[in-house]
A and B are shown apart, each in its own frame.
Chain A
Amino acid sequence: MKQLTLIILAACALLMLVAALDLPDWGDPASPASSHLSPAFLEQGYGETATPNIVTVVLADYRSYDTMFEAVVVFAAALIVMVLLRRTPRTRRKVLPQRPQREGRDVVLRGAAQLIIPVMQLFGLYVVAHGHYSPGGGFQGGVIFGASFILLALCYNLQTVLERLREHVVLFCCAGGALLYAGVGALCLALGWNFLGYAALAGLLGITEVTAHSHGILAVEVGVGITVFAVMVSLYYDLASSGDLDEGL
Chain B
Amino acid sequence: MIDQAPILIIIIPLVAALLLTLTGSLGDRWAYGLLIAALAASLGCALAALAAVLDGNQAVHYRLADWPPPLGIELVIDHLSGVVLVLIAGCALLTAIYSRHPASQDNPDRLNLYYALFALLVTGLLGMTATGDVFNLYVLLEISALSSYGLLARGRGPAYYATFKYLIVGTIGACFYLLGVGYLYIMTGTLNMAELAEILSRPELQESVSVRIGFTLIILGVWIKMALFPLHAWLPNAYSKAGTTTACLIAPLMTKVSVYIMLRMMFTVFSADYIFNRIAWSELVIYLASTAAVVGMLTAFAQRDLRKMLGYIIVAEIGYLAGGAWLATEAGFTGAVYHLLADGLMTLCLFMVVGAIIYRTGLTTAAAMRHIFQRMPVTAVVFLVGAASIIGLPPTCGFFSKFYLIQGAVQAGAWVFVAALLISSLLAALIFFRLLEVAFFGRFDEAAGAAPGAGGHGAAGPVAVAEAPWSMLLPMVLTAIAVLGLGLYTNEVVTYFIRWSVPAGF
Contacts and interface: CB of A to CB of B under 8 A. Distances in A.
A34 interface: yes
B438 interface: no
Interface in A174-209: 174-176, 178-179, 182, 185-186, 189, 193-199
Given A33-B186, A195-B65, A22 B109 contact: no
B344 interface: no
Contact of A65 (B136, B191, B199, B209): B136
A76 B146 contact: yes
Contact of B64 (A75, A90, A194, A199): A194
A91 B60 CA distance: 50
Interface string A154-172: 0000000000000000011
Given A40-B71, A195-B7, A179 B113 contact: no
Interface string B58-69: 000011111100
A61 B191 CA distance: 16
Interface stretch (B137-145, B288-296, B453-461, B479-487): B137-145
Interface stretch (B14-22, B35-43, B46-54): B14-22
B505 interface: no
A82 interface: yes
A24 B211 CA distance: 12
A76 B189 contact: no
B187 interface: yes
B208 interface: yes
B150 A84 contact: yes
Contact of B18 (A90, A179, A193, A194): A179
B210 A19 contact: yes
A65 B73 contact: yes
Interface string A81-106: 01110101010000000000000000
Contacts of B209: 19, 22
A197 B71 contact: no
Nearest to B62: A194
A90 to B, nearest CB: 7
Interface stretch (B114-122, B313-321, B383-391, B439-447): B114-122
Interface string A220-231: 000000000000
B258 interface: no
B4 A77 contact: no
Contacts of B147: 76, 80
B157 interface: no
A22 B73 CA distance: 29
B15 A179 contact: yes
A27 interface: no
Given A16-B213, A19-B209, A189-B7, A83 B110 contact: yes
Interface stretch (A66-74, A126-134, A238-246): A66-74
A174 B65 contact: no
Contacts of B123: 72
Contacts of A69: 127, 136, 139-140, 143
A64 to B, nearest CB: 5
B22 A36 contact: no
Interface in B129-156: 133, 135-136, 139-140, 142-143, 146-147, 149-150, 153-154
B407 interface: no
Contact of B21 (A19, A79, A199): A79
A41 B70 CA distance: 11
A227 to B, nearest CB: 10
Contacts of B63: 194
Contact of B185 (A33, A65, A179, A194): A33
Nearest to B144: A76
A8 to B, nearest CB: 13
A37 B70 contact: yes
Contact of B22 (A33, A175, A195): A175
A23 B150 contact: no
Interface string A11-41: 0000010010011100000011111111011
A198 B65 contact: yes
Interface string B416-454: 000000000000000000000000000000000000000
Contacts of B208: 22
Indicate the size class of the contact surface on chain B. Answer: 35 or more
B34 interface: no
Contacts of A174: 21
A230 B190 CA distance: 34
B113 A182 contact: no
B282 interface: no
Contacts of A90: 108-109
B65 A72 contact: no
Contacts of B71: 37, 40-41, 62
Contacts of B189: 31-38
A13 to B, nearest CB: 13
- Best-surrounded residue of A35, A41, A194 (most CB of chain B within 10 A): A194
B175 interface: no
Interface in A112-153: none
A61 B146 contact: no
B410 interface: no
Contacts of B213: 16, 19
Nearest to A72: B143
Interface in B5-33: 7, 11, 14-15, 18-19, 21-22
Contacts of A186: 11, 15
A195 B19 CA distance: 19
B501 interface: no
A61 B66 CA distance: 10
Contacts of A83: 110, 113-114, 117, 150, 154
Interface string B91-124: 0000000000000000011100110110010010
A95 B434 CA distance: 50
Contacts of B188: 32-33, 36
Interface in B299-316: none
Given A76-B117, A80-B146, A179-B18, A66 B65 contact: no
Given A76-B143, A198-B65, A66 B18 contact: no
> Which 10 pairs of residues, A with B, have the shortest CB-CB distance?
A36-B189, A80-B150, A197-B66, A32-B189, A175-B21, A196-B65, A65-B64, A22-B209, A195-B7, A175-B18
Given A31-B189, A76-B117, 9 more contacts: A23-B186, A32-B189, A76-B143, A80-B117, A82-B113, A83-B113, A84-B150, A178-B18, A182-B18
9 contacts: A24-B187, A37-B189, A69-B139, A80-B149, A84-B150, A175-B18, A186-B11, A194-B7, A195-B11
Interface of A: 16, 19, 22-24, 31-38, 40-41, 61-66, 69-70, 72-73, 75-77, 79-80, 82-84, 86, 88, 90, 171-172, 174-176, 178-179, 182, 185-186, 189, 193-199
